[in-house]
Amino acid sequence: MIRRYGTETIRFSKSSAVVRIDRVNCPLDFSFSVNGLIHHSSKQLHRLTSHFHSADASSTMTVRENLEVGAYTRRRDKVLIRLGLEEAFELFPVLSRKQNDLGGYLSGGERQMLAIARGLMSAPKILLLDEPSMGLSPKLTIEMFESIQRISQQERTIVILEQNAYAALTVSHFGYVLENGRVALSGDAQTLLTDDYVRQMYLGA
Whether pLDDT at 33 is above 90: no
**183 in Cβ contact with 26 (< 8 Å):** yes
DSSP states along 16-65: SS-EEEEEEESSS-EEE-TTS-EEETTEE---EEEPPPGGGS-TTSBHHH
Which pLDDT band holds residue 22 (cuts at 50, 70, 90)?
very low
| Nearest-angstrom CA–CA distance, 177 and 154 | 26
Could you tell me what percent of the chain has a pLDDT over 70? 72
Residue bearing the bigger pLDDT, 85 or 52: 85
Residue bearing the bigger pLDDT, 58 or 188: 188
Which pLDDT band holds residue 41 (cuts at 50, 70, 90)?
low
**Average pLDDT value for residue range 125-145:** 86
Predicted model pTM: 0.70
From residue 73, how far is each of 35, 128, 145 by CA, in Å?
Answer: 19, 17, 27
Residue bearing the bigger pLDDT, 190 or 125: 190
Domains of the chain: 2-202 (3.40.50.300)
